[in-house]
């Protein structure tokens, strides 16, 4: 399973109502640093299966979601636990640092 494509249509079900922590990757296809982080995010989605979810939000397609989280720069990585923001990081991060955000 790769990262889940998060849209405004599945956001509530996949993120807000999730019993597991959710790592969200706010990205865009034209963003160089986003492309650098993407392989690590995909690897993490495999490694944390059953313990956490990983979702990707394309800010060009889901500008409403990006705006509601005040995403001004990308990539923005966010961990949502119990429907609340637990951690945020802006800019490219190494895989180990992203995993540390999830605290699994």
Residue 54: closest CA among 20, 23, 11, 91: 23
How far are the Cα atoms of 45, 54, 93, 100 from residue 68, in angstroms, in the given order?
24, 19, 23, 25
Catalytic residue among 3, 23, 31, 37: 31
31 carries an active-site annotation: yes
Catalytic residue among 15, 34, 54, 101: 34
34 carries an active-site annotation: yes
Residues designated catalytic: 31, 34
């Amino acid at each position: 399973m790769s990262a889940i494509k998060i849209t405004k249509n599945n956001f509530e079900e996949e993120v807000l109502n999730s019993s597991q922590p959710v790592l969200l990757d706010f990205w865009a296809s034209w963003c160089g640093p986003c492309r650098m982080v993407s392989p690590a995010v995909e690897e993490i989605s495999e490694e944390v299966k059953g313990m956490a979810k990983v979702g990707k939000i394309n800010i060009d397609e889901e500008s409403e979601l990006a705006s509601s989280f005040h995403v001004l720069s990308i990539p923005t990585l966010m961990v949502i636990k119990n429907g609340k923001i637990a951690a945020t990081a802006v800019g490219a991060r190494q895989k180990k640092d992203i995993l540390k955000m999830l605290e699994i």
